[in-house]
Chains A and B, each alone.
Chain A
Amino acid sequence: MVKLIELKTKDIPMPSQIINKTMTDEIYLVLPRDAILTVKKNSYVKIGSKVCQNYNLTSPLSGFITSITKINTINGSYPALKIINDFQENKTHNPKSIAKLTKEDLTIAFDYFHLKIPSSPIIINAIDDEPYVYTNNYYLLSNYEKYLELLDKIATIYNQEVIICLKETDPQTINNILTLIGMYPQLKLKVLPPLYLLGQNKILKEYLELPSPSLALTTSMLDNLLSYLRYHEESSSFLLTIKTETQILFVRLLNGTPIEYLQDILPSSKDYLVYANGLMQGHEISLDNLVLTKDINSLIFTPKTTLPKEGRCLNCAACSNICPVGLNPKLFSNPTYLSKARLQCLKCNLCTYICPAYINFNKYLKEEE
C-alpha cells in the first residue's frame, strides 16, 4: 500500500458555470510529424472529417483549410492545419442514442481506445491530483446525466459494478450524482479523502484494494468514449482549468484553439509565471503563439517570484520517506540507480515538494530523459 498525503491549498471560490469557448473563428489541427494528409489547402471539411491517412485525425469544426503552418504546443513545435470556422456545424455523423448502444458498439469502442473488456468492477476516476485543478471533476459535473446513462449501459451489458470515485472536496458534483444515481442500481459512488495521487488509476485501484486488471477510466477518457460511441470520433472539445491569483475558471475549448482566443479571460502573462498541467507534475510554459490541445488540462498563473536557491542537503530522509513507491531520491545522482528508479518513479514530484533545502530532484529525471 502506497503512502499518500494531502497537499494543503488556499481556499478559492469555485464557479458553478463552465465558460463555453468552442465558437472560435479558427483552430489549428496539430499534425504528427509523419502525417500523410488526405486534404489540401482550401479544402472544405465537416465536423468529424478525416484529414489524415495514417492517423485517426478529424476536424473539430466545419470550414476551409487555409494553410499548413508551424505552431507551438506544450510539447513543442508541430505542423498544423489552420481551419477557418464557417459556423455551419456540418457533421459527418448523426449522434447515436445511448439507449441503442449494443455490446458490439462497446467492444469496438473499447478496442479503439485499447481498453480491456471489463471483467471486474469498473472505476471511474473523477479525482484531480493537482492543487487548484478540477478538470476531471468538472468533466463529470458538465455532463453527468449522459455519463451515468452510458455507465449504466456498460454495467448492464458487461454485468459489472461501476464505482464512481470523487474527492470529498467536490460537494457540487457529489450532490448532482446523488440526485440521479438511485435510478442506476449497478452504479456506486465512492467519496474519498483529498489525498494526492489518487487521481492516478494505478494508485486508486491499490487504494480501493481492487485487482490491478480492473478497468479504470478518467472522466476525460469517459468523455472521449461517449463521443466515440455517439459520433464515431473522439471528443473535439476539452475542458481546461484556469487558475489566477484570485479566481478559478473552467473553460470548454475546441482542440487546437489558439491562446489569443482566451485573451479576454486571461491575465497578462508578463506579470505571471504560467504552469501547464499543474504545479506539481506540470511545467512552466510560454504563452507566445501557444495552441491549446487536449494534452493540457490546466493553466496556472502564479506571480513572478525568485525561486529559493538549492541549499545543502540536510540528510533528513524526508524525500525517501514521502516517496509513494519507496525510492531514495538522494541516490538519483547514481546513474545505475537512476536508470532503475525511472521505471518505478511516478513523477509525482513529492520529493522536490518536501525537500527543506529546495533540492530539485526532478532535474535528474529530466537529464536522463
Chain B
Amino acid sequence: MHYSKTQDNLFTSYFLALIPILIFGFYKNGLYLYLNNLISFKTMLLPVYFYAISIIIGLLTSYILKANYRLFILNSLIICASISLNTNYLIYPILLFVLLFISNILSQKCHFNQNSIIRLFLILALLLNLYRYENIAELTNVFNYNLFDKFLGFTKGGIASTSLFLNLSALIILSFNKFYKKSIALSASLSFFIVSLVLAILTSSPLNIVFEGHIYYFFIFIASDIYVSPSTKEGMLIYGFIIGLLSAILSKYLFYEGAVLSIFLVSLFIPLINILINKKYLKSS
C-alpha cells in the first residue's frame, strides 16, 4: 500500500506553479511591449523562443543521458525563467545543453545544486551581448511603474522571475504538495527579508532589494531543489536560513546573481549539515 502522491505529482505541482510565471514573462517582456509599439512582432516572441528551446534542450539531454525527461524539462524551464531577456539566443541553447550534461554527470560524484551552477554559467551567454537585465521599457523608463506594479513583476530581472506576487502564489501552489521542501523556501525567504531589511536600514539604502521578486524566485524554485537538499526538516531550515542570510549580503554587490551564487555555495555544505543533524539523531536514538 502506498500514499496516493508520488514524485510525479511533485513535478506536476512545479509545472503548475511555473505556468503563470512563464505566461507573465511573455506578457511583460513580449506582448505588453509589442502592444505599446516598443518592439517588433518577432522580438515579442523572444520569451516564447527561450521557453521552447529550453524544453527541447531538456528533452534532448534527458534522451541522451537516458534520464527522467520531466525532470530535465522542468529544470530547463526553471533556469530559463530566471535568465536575462538579453541573453544571446544562439549561444544559450548550446551552453544550456553542455551545462545540463556536465552538471548531471558531476552531480553523481559530488553534492551541489545543479540549477544554481547552470544558471551562474549562463551569464556567459549574457556577457556575449550586454550584461543587462532590463527590457526596453525598463531601460528607457517609459511606463514609470509604481510600487504595486513592481510587486506584480514590472521590474528588471529574469525573463519571468520578477513577479513577487506570482512567486508567492507559486509557493502556495507548491506548498500543497507534501514533498515540496517549503521549509527551505520559507526559511530562506524569511531570513533574506529580515537581514536585507536590517542592512538597508543600517546603511540607509533603498528598500527595493527586500521586495525583489527574482530573489524570492531563486529561493522558491532553485534552493528548494527536487533532489539536492539536507535530508531532515531541521537541516532544511538551517540550509534555507544560511542561503537567505548569504543572499542578503551578496545581493548588495551582485544584485542579479547574489542569491543564486549563495544557493550554490551553501549547497556544497549539505553533507556537513547532514552530518551535524544526523549526529543529533544518532545521539537521541
Q: Would you call A175 an interface residue if the criterion is a C-beta within 8 Å of the partner chain's C-beta atoms?
A: no
Partner of B3, one of A317, A340, A354: A354
Interface residues in A248-286 (C-beta closer than 8 Å to B): 279-280
- How distant is the Cα of A139 from the Cα of B179 in the complex, in angstroms? 39
Chain A neighbourhood of B281, CB < 8 A: 327-328, 331, 337
Interface residues in B163-198 (C-beta closer than 8 Å to A): 178-181
- How distant is the Cα of A344 from the Cα of B285 in the complex, in angstroms? 8
Q: Would you call B282 an interface residue if the criterion is a C-beta within 8 Å of the partner chain's C-beta atoms?
A: yes
- How distant is the Cα of A315 from the Cα of B228 in the complex, in angstroms? 7
When C-beta atoms are compared, the residue in chain B nearest to A320 turns out to be: B232
Does B285 lie within 8 Å of A341, measured CB to CB?
yes
Does A8 lie within 8 Å of B4, measured CB to CB?
yes
Q: Would you call A316 an interface residue if the criterion is a C-beta within 8 Å of the partner chain's C-beta atoms?
A: yes
Asked whether A340 and B285 contact (CB < 8 A) given A314-B10, A314-B226, the answer is yes
Chain A neighbourhood of B7, CB < 8 A: 311, 314, 356-357
Asked whether A317 and B232 contact (CB < 8 A) given A7-B1, A354-B3, the answer is yes
- How distant is the Cα of A315 from the Cα of B6 in the complex, in angstroms? 13
Q: Would you call A336 an interface residue if the criterion is a C-beta within 8 Å of the partner chain's C-beta atoms?
A: yes
Minimum distance in angstroms from B191 CB to a CB of chain A: 19
- How distant is the Cα of A280 from the Cα of B6 in the complex, in angstroms? 17
Chain B neighbourhood of A290, CB < 8 A: none
**Chain B, 239-260, contact with A by CB distance < 8 Å: what is the 0/1 string?**
0000000000000000000000
Q: Would you call A318 an interface residue if the criterion is a C-beta within 8 Å of the partner chain's C-beta atoms?
A: yes
Q: Would you call B143 an interface residue if the criterion is a C-beta within 8 Å of the partner chain's C-beta atoms?
A: no
Chain A neighbourhood of B231, CB < 8 A: 313, 315, 317, 320, 328, 330
Q: Would you call B84 an interface residue if the criterion is a C-beta within 8 Å of the partner chain's C-beta atoms?
A: no
Chain B neighbourhood of A356, CB < 8 A: 3, 5-7, 9-10, 179
Q: Would you call B148 an interface residue if the criterion is a C-beta within 8 Å of the partner chain's C-beta atoms?
A: no
Minimum distance in angstroms from A363 CB to a CB of chain B: 15
Minimum distance in angstroms from A88 CB to a CB of chain B: 44
- How distant is the Cα of A316 from the Cα of B4 in the complex, in angstroms? 16
**Chain A, 348-363, contact with B by CB distance < 8 Å: what is the 0/1 string?**
0000111011100000
Chain A neighbourhood of B179, CB < 8 A: 314, 316, 318, 356
Number of B residues, CB within 8 Å of A:
28
Minimum distance in angstroms from B204 CB to a CB of chain A: 41
Q: Would you call B86 an interface residue if the criterion is a C-beta within 8 Å of the partner chain's C-beta atoms?
A: no
Asked whether A331 and B233 contact (CB < 8 A) given A315-B228, A337-B285, A358-B6, the answer is no
- How distant is the Cα of A311 from the Cα of B68 in the complex, in angstroms? 11
**Chain B, 197-219, contact with A by CB distance < 8 Å: what is the 0/1 string?**
00000000000000000000000
Q: Would you call A312 an interface residue if the criterion is a C-beta within 8 Å of the partner chain's C-beta atoms?
A: yes
Chain A neighbourhood of B180, CB < 8 A: 316
Q: Would you call A186 an interface residue if the criterion is a C-beta within 8 Å of the partner chain's C-beta atoms?
A: no
Q: Would you call A321 an interface residue if the criterion is a C-beta within 8 Å of the partner chain's C-beta atoms?
A: yes
Interface residues in B271-285 (C-beta closer than 8 Å to A): 278, 281-282, 284-285
Q: Would you call B230 an interface residue if the criterion is a C-beta within 8 Å of the partner chain's C-beta atoms?
A: yes
Does B228 lie within 8 Å of A336, measured CB to CB?
no
Does B6 lie within 8 Å of A336, measured CB to CB?
no
Q: Would you call A131 an interface residue if the criterion is a C-beta within 8 Å of the partner chain's C-beta atoms?
A: yes
Minimum distance in angstroms from B181 CB to a CB of chain A: 6
Seed contacts A7-B1, A320-B232; 13 additional CB < 8 Å A-B pairs: A313-B227, A314-B179, A315-B181, A317-B231, A326-B284, A328-B278, A337-B282, A341-B285, A354-B3, A356-B5, A356-B10, A356-B179, A357-B7
Q: Would you list the 4 A-B pairs with minimal beta carbon distance, nearest first?
A: A279-B1, A340-B285, A356-B7, A316-B179
Task: List residues of B whose CB falls within 8 A of some A CB.
Answer: 1-7, 9-10, 178-181, 226-233, 235-236, 278, 281-282, 284-285
Task: List residues of A whose CB falls within 8 A of some B CB.
Answer: 7-8, 131, 279-280, 308, 311-318, 320-321, 326-328, 330-331, 334, 336-337, 340-341, 344, 352-354, 356-358
